[in-house]
Chains A and B, each alone.
Chain A
Amino acid sequence: KQEVTQIPAALSVPEGENLVLNCSFTDSAIYNLQWFRQDPGKGLTSLLLIQSSQREQTSGRLNASLDKSSGRSTLYIAASQPGDSATYLCAVRNYGQNFVFGPGTRLSVLP
Chain B
Amino acid sequence: EPEVTQTPSHQVTQMGQEVILRCVPISNHLYFYWYRQILGQKVEFLVSFYNNEISEKSEIFDDQFSVERPDGSNFTLKIRSTKLEDSAMYFCASRTASSYEQYFGPGTRLTVT
Contact = CB atoms under 8 A, between A and B. Distances in A.
Interface of A: 31-32, 34, 36, 41-46, 49, 51, 89, 91, 93, 97-104
Interface residues of B, number: 24
A34 B91 contact: no
B104 interface: yes
A43 B45 contact: no
A93 B44 CA distance: 12
A45 B58 CA distance: 23
Contacts of A89: 43
Given A42-B107, A43-B107, A89-B43, A31 B102 contact: no
Contact of B104 (A44, A49, A103): A44
B56 interface: yes
Instruction: Name A's interface SS.
Output: strand
A45 B44 contact: no
A103 B38 CA distance: 12
B103 A46 contact: yes
B45 A100 contact: yes
B42 A101 contact: yes
Contacts of B44: 101
B43 A49 contact: no
B42 A102 contact: yes
B42 A99 contact: no
B48 interface: yes
